[in-house]
């Protein structure tokens, strides 16, 4: 399978390439270990001198096939699966930042990532500056410091539904000699490939659309292979200087365009161990096989629901960048001309209690702490996912206290709208 295949074909076929007589379907390599004939062979693997499997914490054939499928879908050179989206974003930053370093991040991001970056990573001595992603280039540039190592944003922010101007962010990143890392969870590579707009590294919570059935928690980091670490060697010594924990191996010298993912595997997976289980990778792969079909339906359903809500007098506001007139519609048209995602946000006229009462009246649509799977679901971030955030932080993260997050599934659009209609008391 090559990058020249279309995304629909990659979804179904990429990654697992059986040899003569091997299983047609990706098998689950349910084994922690792999067998070698000589001690010498095993030693070479440990020194990263040979490639091969030896322990599933580092690499597993099921995981590698799925990572390869996602890398091809994103148009990247390499990918690594992680146990969750949180682990993916943590590793993506920690792979190039250490104590004393700093990075810049759009403030409109997923609450879990906001907390990871702003609170937990600070305890490791890594500082973040949150900026308004819609600010102009000079304002965002002013947040950079000599020790800044990356800039981070979400293609479509969860749950604020802001669309990132990826080209603007890439220009700012590259002007400062750092990579742009984009969390592409909501758009998926079906609707947007951030690498085509200058992003260097992409992350996902595969828990969402990629799995698509709400079966497994997982994440992935994909590298475009485009960032020239050696051109900024002093800024990224972890990649460009010898690694004492690997007998003085230098990642950029030994692995070229694969350096970033090799380092993430060899150091971060080795030491922190947030692997995705091969079972979960197998299930994720089944989800990926229909990602292109599901995204189309998620988007067309969500647009119908967004239109219905925007015309309803009981609804105060709707945020869905697929909707003409949305603040981010022009950016969505540019970066996601075939559709954005199935998630939208809206507020009802009335109090916060009215929002909660509306949600409780829904019948088919369930209240769950999840988004982006086949079943339509709803959540009130201020009382659920984002409840650790203060009102000030909520607003900074683009989450109005009355915001209802609706994740439109792939059921019949008429049935989804009918449930909302009855919950609105119509
Ligand atoms: C859910 C989510 C995450 C965290 O992923 P988990 O798989 O739940 O750890 C990160 N980023 C975005 C945009 C998300 O929606």
Q: How far apart are CA 320 and CA 423, in angstroms?
A: 20
Contacts of 174 (CB under 8 A, 6+ apart): 180, 198
Q: Residue 149: pLDDT band by 50, 70, 90 thresholds?
A: very high
Determine whether the shortest distance from the Cβ of 219 to ligand 1 is under 6 A: yes
Q: Residue 91 Cα, ligand 1 centroid: separation in angstroms?
A: 13
With a 6 Å cutoff on the Cβ, whether 211 touches ligand 1 is no
Looking from the CA of residue 186, the nearest atom of ligand 1 is 13
Distance CA 327, CA 162 (A): 8
Write the pLDDT tens digit of every residue in 281-312.
999 999 999 999 999 999 999 999 999 999 99
pLDDT at 386: 77
Sole residue written with tokens 């350096």: 259
pLDDT band at 401 (very low <50, low <70, confident <90, very high): confident
pLDDT 10s digits, 351-368: 878 888 999 999 999 999
Q: Best substitution site from 86, 92, 107, 210 to test ligand 1's pocket, by max atoms within 8 Å of Cβ?
A: 86
**Cβ distance 137 to 171 under 8 Å?**
yes
The region of weakest confidence among 30-39, 127-136, 224-233, 323-332 is 30-39
- How high does pLDDT run on average in the chain? 95
CB 291 within 8 A of CB 6: no
Q: How close is the Cα of 85 to the center of ligand 1, in Å?
A: 5
Position 1 pLDDT exceeds 60: no
Which among 82, 84, 85 is the best mutation to test ligand 1's pocket, defined by most ligand atoms within 8 Å of the CB? 85
Query: Is 108 a pocket residue for ligand 1 (Cβ < 6 Å)?
Result: no
Decide if pLDDT at 397 tops 90.
no
- Of 256, 193, 254, the closest CA to residue 222 belongs to 193
Return d(Cα 413, Cα 426) in angstroms, integer: 17
Q: Looking at the predicted structure, is the pLDDT value of residue 67 above 90?
A: yes
Q: Rounded to the nearest whole angstrom, what is the distance from the C-alpha of residue 422 to the centroid of ligand 1?
A: 31
Neighbouring C-beta atoms of residue 99, cutoff 10 Å: 9
pLDDT at 409: 98
Ligand 1 neighbourhood includes 376 CB (under 6 angstroms): no
Is the CB–ligand 1 distance for residue 205 below 6 Å?
Answer: yes
Distance in Å from the first CA to the final CA of the chain: 52
The reply to whether ligand 1 has any atom less than 6 angstroms from the CB of 183 is yes
For ligand 1, atom 4, name the residue with the nearest CA: 85
Q: Which is it for strands 343-348 and 315-319: parallel, antiparallel or unpaired?
A: antiparallel
How far, in whole angstroms, is CA 40 from its chain's centroid? 39
CA distances to 73, 270, 315, 323, 378 from 305, in Å = 28, 45, 12, 10, 13
Quickly state the pLDDT bin for 46 (edges 50, 70, 90): confident
């Amino acid at each position: 399978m090559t990058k020249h295949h279309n995304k629909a074909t990659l979804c179904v076929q990429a990654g697992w390439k059986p040899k003569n007589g091997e299983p047609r379907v990706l098998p689950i390599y349910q084994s922690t270990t792999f067998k070698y004939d000589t001690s010498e062979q095993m030693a070479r693997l440990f020194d990263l001198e040979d490639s091969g499997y030896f322990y599933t914490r580092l690499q597993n054939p099921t995981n590698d096939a799925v990572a390869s499928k996602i890398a091809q879908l994103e148009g990247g050179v390499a990918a690594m699966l992680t146990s969750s989206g949180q682990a993916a974003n943590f590793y993506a930053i920690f792979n190039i930042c250490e104590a004393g370093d700093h990075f810049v991040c759009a403030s409109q991001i997923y609450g879990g990532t906001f907390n990871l970056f702003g609170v937990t990573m600070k305890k490791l001595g890594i500082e973040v500056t949150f900026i308004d992603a819609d600010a102009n280039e000079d304002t965002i540039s002013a947040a950079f410091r000599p020790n800044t190592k990356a800039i981070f944003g979400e293609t479509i922010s969860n749950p604020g539904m802001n669309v990132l101007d990826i080209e603007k962010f890439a220009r700012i990143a590259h002007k400062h000699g750092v990579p742009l890392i984009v969390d592409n969870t909501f758009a998926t590579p079906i609707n947007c490939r951030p690498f085509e707009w200058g992003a260097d590294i992409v992350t996902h919570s595969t828990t969402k659309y990629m799995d698509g059935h709400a079966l497994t928690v997982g994440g992935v980091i994909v590298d475009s292979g485009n960032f020239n670490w050696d051109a900024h060697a002093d800024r990224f010594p972890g990649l460009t200087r010898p690694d004492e924990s690997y007998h003085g191996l230098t990642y950029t010298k030994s692995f070229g365009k694969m350096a970033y993912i090799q380092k993430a595997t060899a150091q971060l997976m080795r030491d922190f161990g947030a692997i995705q289980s091969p079972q979960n990778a197998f299930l994720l792969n089944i989800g990926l096989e229909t990602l292109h079909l599901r995204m189309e339906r998620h988007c067309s359903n969500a647009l119908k629901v967004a239109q219905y809500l925007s015309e309803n007098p009981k609804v105060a506001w709707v945020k869905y960048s697929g909707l003409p007139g949305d603040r981010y519609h022009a950016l969505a048209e540019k970066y996601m001309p075939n559709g954005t995602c199935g998630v939208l946000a809206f507020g009802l006229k009335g109090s916060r209690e009215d929002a909660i009462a509306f949600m409780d009246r829904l019948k088919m649509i369930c209240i769950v702490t999840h988004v982006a799977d086949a079943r339509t679901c709803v959540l009130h971030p201020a009382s659920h996912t984002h409840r650790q955030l203060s009102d000030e932080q909520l607003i900074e993260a683009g989450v109005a206290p009355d915001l209802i997050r609706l994740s439109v599934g792939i059921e019949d659009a008429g049935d989804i709208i009918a449930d909302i209609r009855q919950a609105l008391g119509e």
